[in-house]
Amino acid sequence: MPAGTAPAFRRKMVENNGRIPLELYIHIPFCVKKCAYCDFLSAPADREAREAYVSALLREIRSLPGEYGLDNREVISVFVGGGTPSLLEGVRMKEIMDALREHFLFAPDAEITVEANPGTLDREKLRLYGRSGINRLSLGLQSASDRELRVLGRIHTCGDFLESYRNAREEGFANINVDLISAVPGQTYEDWIRNLRTVAELGPEHISAYSLIIEPGTPFAQMELDLPDEDTEYRMYEDTAAVLGEYGYRQYEISNYAREGFACRHNAGYWKRTEYLGIGLGAASLFEGRRFHNTVDMKEYLADSGRPGAMRKDMENLTRQDEEEEYMFLGLRMTEGVSERKFEEQFREKMTDVYGAVLRKYEKMGLLQKKGDFWSFTRKGIHVSNGVLADFLQDRG
Amino acid sequence: MEDKEEENRKVTDQSKIRNFCIIAHIDHGKSTLADRIIEKTGLLTEREMQSQVLDNMDLERERGITIKSQAVRIVYKAKDGEEYIFNLIDTPGHVDFNYEVSRSLAACDGAILVVDAAQGIEAQTLANVYLALDHDLDVLPVINKIDLPSADPQRVINEIEDVIGLEAQDAPRISAKTGENVEDVLEQIVQKIPAPEGDAEAPLKALIFDSVYDSYKGVIVFCRIMDGRVKKGTTVRMMATGFTAEVVEVGYFGAGRFIPCDELTAGMVGYLTASIKNVRDTRVGDTVTDASRPCAEALPGYKKVQPMVYCGLYPADGAKYGDLRDALEKLQLNDASLFYEPETSVALGFGFRCGFLGLLHLEIIQERLEREYNLDLVTTAPSVIYKVYKTNGEVIELTNPTNLPDPSEIDYMEEPMVEAEIMVTTEFIGAIMELCQERRGQYLGMDYMEETRALLKYRLPLNEIIYDFFDALKSRSRGYASLDYELCGYERSELVKLDILVNREEVDALSFIVHADTAYERGRKMCEKLKEEIPRQLFEIPIQAAIGSKIIARETVKAMRKDVLAKCYGGDITRKKKLLEKQKEGKKRMRQVGNVEIPQKAFMSVLKLDDK
């Protein structure tokens, strides 16, 4: 297959208005200070560096329609992640949003999320966000315990969060996510459940609950940590769904819980393989059947952001095999699972012809289940999902 | 061109040739001294010099051992003003390769014995000296590592005189590492190692001491010309195999390369090629003669090397069976002592039963297959050759425990025995004797070398030695004990087959033969070891040891509880996929037996059962 040509088996997901949905991810690689567990592309930076970066972002945004011919695309979601995007001055965020709207066509109900950290969010900023069309906030609380926040190396207290949360509500944000991390060093099962309840009582529309992963190269990887044992972690994870269920949240993905109608569309797009463009330093894209990402070198990014072609890295043309694998290991993260019918529509072969043996093996072990047209994890299976998902990678000759 | 003629003229003068090898206990500095000699004689400039020139294989350099014999020719200008040709033949330093050592020695007229100035004589020092003396070699002792703070050259010199009975007062005291006094060694080579005494006009008689396979030239035969001469066009015959061929090229050994010359004559060490396709036609130890004018009788001492240890080698990925077969074929071209034949295992599929000279040989072949041929292997527990006497009078030589007949058909069994010599400092004698008793050893005697060191002699079953004996010996003597052994026949023994069941399924590749008295103990330890080796999986896995239908030990691998990749990584799906690929790779390194994934190294667990 020649580079850049979409394979024939790929069917575009075409909405009623004839436009192909597109998601945008904007990366803001700045934070006040690096957290002890963080291995994302982010670092503290002064005002000047931030301004230079925003200018570069704007250059990239302006160049994209010319680069890709996006007339038939409709932006259905934007996610501004980091780092700490809320570290940017409110007017800068507005500039970014304005530029996006100027150069891309937005669906009327597009979901536009900004990640924000308590301690970096004042009413003025929130007001500007509202005026920029941002309609969803993702607040990085991580823990409702000040002790745990210190362990994690966060810059804020739970009190700071409550203030940010109240301000956001008062400024009219009706769709808020709160991030929590379980299995923090020193955390007991009871501590975790208390964190969950504290947040659930507040009633955000969405809660993301990640287990702490000790990533190589982070300060945590160098330290001896008092981590909860596997059984405790198991119970923490198992009971998260039940506790949040009491408050009307439903688990829709491995780490995500939402009230009815508030599942994050942007993230769901990742799992369903909706195409997206990543804008900013190191940002990853899935576009026209290819995966690639921007340079992770800030100097290079600042120099080349206006010519995206020059700073794309690890360009990978996905084969049908790649796409089938992604369809499975991404799709199975969602509690609804993966559809056999859609698989066949997209790939012109039956899911059971490709994956019959794996599916049956795990069904027999009680880790996967078939409900109607959909395969999904059982409750038992979701706890050990990683090993199962790895089995959906196909053998290469 | 002139140089070459000049050299050829010189080397025909046998009185200026010295053929010698260096023998030593492992780590006493054999290869370092060889490097230094090569460097001092100016064969290579210091810049060209790569450490340990003679150890060609990466594996040899890394492990600090010599696996294959190597030879190099160097020119030394002695203090008497004359130039001498030195042929240095490096010998393997491990007991597994004793036969090759013996062949290399036969190609020499003298041997340099390197002894560590701090450690003194070790088990293989003795074994090698005796081998050299058996071949009537003049042994030139050299005390190495005098730069060590703990060096005590005089003590070691006295030890050499007392224990071996070699005159050693004027032995060079050197540091091969720093180069100190290495000139003394070179001078003594000239003075003390005799020149060869062959008759160049007699019929050709040459000893093959090694061979390598080259894909262009075919087999390159390393030989020492005892009598006569050989050149391009000579039709040679290998006296043991009867193989006949016309010589295409003769030459001698440069550092790391072959240098062609016109003729090899009596006293010389060199190589010949004759478009020989198979290493087995040119067995180490065989005699090469001129087919048209053969010598009266072959040189003594050719014997076929018999493998002592067998194990199963399987490709981790069943599809690589053909690759493994090709790789074994290629390795065998260079290593006639490697034996293999196809076999099948219920647990592991198609593979090969391979025979080796010893455990080190096994490990080396395994590593070479993995590195040089990029194969991922599963190795089953090594086994010796048992003799099974059946009630119907039949005798089976058993190399694979799985093939043991039903106990009702067995009259009795015999196992191979060795006589082992263990050199140990007196403080550890108790611990080592205890180890030998545990391994069913019969005490044969003990000689004191000096006040602080003794040579223990034991008769031991070979199967007790191949399983981790060497490691146990080292750990119980804090590294100070050394071992040498040789096979001394078969002995009747109460043996049973121990089977291992994983998730209630018998895994044939894990079965091993063990003495009845130690079966329970071994079975228990094997289960414990496997429990450590087998990672937790999605369900609970019982591991059981059984003799026949009787379960004698059990352990359980608990089910894995949590394995979730929580993070989203901002749409960086490639990263996520890489993590899954890593996990999948991990699984690939395991063998699926029933529903259970067993890591490759678990199949070698039986080797690591010593818990002290």
Tell me the residue type at B193. Answer: I
Across the range B493-519, mean pLDDT stands at 92
| Tokens encoding B398 | 């058993």
**CA-based nearest distance B467→chain A, Å:** 35
B259 pLDDT band, cuts 50/70/90, is: confident
DSSP B163: I
Q: Considering just the CA atoms, what is the radius of gyration of chain A in Å?
A: 21
Mean pLDDT of A79-94: 94
Q: Which of A312-326, A371-385, B90-104, B197-211 has the lowest mean pLDDT?
A: B90-104
Return the pLDDT at A395: 77
Judging contacts by C-beta atoms under 8 Å, the chain B residues touching residue A213 are: 565-567
Q: Show residues of chain A in contact with B574, CB under 8 Å.
A: 284, 291, 293, 314, 316
pLDDT average, residue stretch B235-239: 93
pLDDT of residue A9: 41
- Work out the pLDDT band at B58, boundaries 50, 70, 90: low
Mutate to test the interface with B, among A227, A234, A266, A270 (most CBs of B within 10 A): A270
A393-397, Cβ contacts within 8 angstroms, sequence gap of 24 or more: A393/A325, A393/A329, A393/B577, A393/B580, A393/B581, A393/B584, A394/A321, A394/A324, A394/A325, A394/A354, A396/A321
Q: Read off the pLDDT of residues A246-291 as tens digits, 9 standing for 90 and up.
A: 999 999 999 999 999 999 999 999 999 999 999 999 999 999 999 9
Per-residue model confidence (pLDDT) at position B95: 58
DSSP codes of every residue in A64-132: HHHHH--TTEEEEEEEEEES-GGGS-HHHHHHHHHHHHHHSPEEEEEEEEEEE-TTS--HHHHHHHHHT
Chain A residues touching residue B577 (CB < 8 angstroms): 325-326, 329, 393
Judged by average pLDDT, the poorest of A270-284, A285-299, B288-302 is: B288-302
What pLDDT does B303 receive? 64
Contact A121, A87 (CB under 8 A): no
Contact criterion met (CB below 8 Å) for B350 and B477 = no
A299 CB-near residues (< 8 Å, 6+ apart): none
The answer to whether residue B253 scores a pLDDT higher than 70 is yes
Q: Tens of pLDDT along A173-225? A: 999 999 999 999 999 999 999 999 999 999 999 999 999 988 888 999 998 99
pLDDT mean over B470-490: 83
Instruction: Decide: helix, strand or coil at residue A261.
Output: coil
Query: How much of chain B, in percent, has pLDDT values that exceed 70?
Result: 89
Which of B539, B557, B572 would you mutate first to test chain A, the one with the most A CBs within 10 A? B572
Neighbours of A159 (CB within 10 A): 10
pLDDT, residue B48, reads 45
Instruction: Please list, residue by residue across B234-270, b when 16 or more beta carbons sit within 10 angstroms of its beta carbon and e when fewer do.
Output: bebbbbbeebebebebbbbbebeebeebebbbbbbbb
pLDDT for residue A397: 46
pLDDT of residue A227: 92
Has residue B44 got a pLDDT over 70? no
Please check the confidence at residue B118 and state whether its pLDDT lies above 80: yes
Higher pLDDT residue, B9 or A85?
A85
Across the interface, of A81, A230, A389, the residue whose CB is closest to B570 is: A81
Give the pLDDT confidence of A146-177 residue by residue, as tens digits: 999 999 999 999 999 999 999 999 999 999 99
- Max alpha carbon distance in chain B (Å)? 84
What is the distance between the alpha carbons of residues A199 and A195, in angstroms, rounded to a whole number? 6
Give pLDDT tens digits for B61-81: 555 445 455 688 888 888 888
Give B-chain residues touching A210 at CB under 8 angstroms: 566-567
Rounded to the nearest 10 degrees, what angle do helices B182-192 and B30-40 cross at? 90
Alpha-carbon torsion, ordered A35, A38, A40, A46, to 10 deg = 10
Q: Do B565 and A231 touch (CB under 8 A)?
A: no
Q: Å from B415 to nearest chain A CA?
A: 45
The yes-or-no verdict on residue B612 having pLDDT over 80 is: no
CB atoms near residue B427 (< 10 Å): 11
Chain A residues whose beta carbon lies within 8 Å of the beta carbon of residue B537: 387
Helix axes A351-364, A340-347, angle to 10 degrees: 150
Q: Give the whole-angstrom CA distance, residue B99 versus residue B257.
A: 25
How many Cβ atoms are within 10 Å of A353's Cβ, its own excluded?
10
Buried/exposed code over B313-329 (b: 16+ C-beta within 10 A; e: otherwise): bbbbbeebbeebbebbe
Q: What φ, ψ does residue B465 adopt, rounded to 5°?
A: -85, -35
More confident position, B603 or B480: B603
- What is the nearest CA distance from B555 to chain A, expressed in angstroms? 20
> Which residues have CB under 8 Å from A21's CB, separation 6+?
A13, A15, A73, A74, A75, A76, A107, A269, A274, A275
Tell me if chain A has a CB within 8 Å of the CB of B549.
Answer: no
Percentage with pLDDT > 70 across chain A? 95
Average per-residue pLDDT for chain A:
92
Q: Is B539 on the interface with A (CB under 8 A)?
A: yes
What integer is the mean pLDDT of A70-82? 93
B580 CA to chain A: closest CA distance, Å?
A: 5
Long-range (24+ apart) CB contacts under 8 A made by B129-134 are B129/B23, B129/B164, B129/B166, B131/B23, B131/B98, B131/B101, B131/B102, B131/B105, B132/B23, B132/B105, B134/B102
Q: Strand pairing partners for A26?
A: A80, A279
Average pLDDT of every residue of chain B: 85
Alpha-helix runs per DSSP H in B335-406:
359-372
What is the average pLDDT across B230-235? 94
Is A211 in contact with B573 (Cβ distance < 8 A)?
Answer: no
Instruction: Report the pLDDT value the prediction gives residue A3, as an integer from 0 to 100.
Output: 39
CB contact under 8 A, B564 and A383: yes
Higher-pLDDT residue of A14 and A40 is: A40
Contact with chain B for residue A66, Cβ under 8 A: no
pTM of the model as a whole = 0.65
Q: Give mean pLDDT, residues B421-448.
A: 91
Q: How far apart are CA B6 and CA A393, in angstroms?
A: 67
Chain B residues in contact with A271 by the CB 8 A cut-off are none
Percentage of residues in chain B having pLDDT higher than 90? 41
Side by side, the strands of the sheet bearing B287-290 are B244-246, B235-238, B287-290, B205-214, B218-227, B269-273, B249-254, B257-261
pLDDT of residue B451: 75
Closest to B362 measured CA to CA, from B350, B379, B374, B345: B379
Chain B residue nearest residue A316, CA to CA: B574
Chain A to chain B Cβ contacts (< 8 Å):
105
| pLDDT recorded at residue B96 | 64
Taking residues A121-126, what's their average pLDDT? 94
- Whose CA is closest to A277, among B571, B568, B569? B571
Confidence at A313, pLDDT banded by 50, 70, 90: very high
Asked if pLDDT for residue B537 goes beyond 90, the answer is no
What pLDDT does B10 receive? Answer: 47
Q: Write down the residue that tokens 């972002």 correspond to.
A: A57
Query: What pLDDT, on a 0 to 100 scale, did the predictor assign at position B49?
Result: 45
Give residue B163's pLDDT.
84
pLDDT at B570: 65
Query: Which of B537, B568, B569 to probe by mutation at the A interface, max A CB count within 10 Å?
Result: B568
Say which residue, A36 or B39, is predicted with more confidence: A36
The DSSP line for B14-45 is GGGEEEEEEEESTTSSHHHHHHHHHHHTTSS-
The reported pLDDT for the residue numbered B129 is: 86
Identity of the amino acid at A305: S
**pLDDT tens by residue, B393-411:** 999 999 999 899 988 999 9
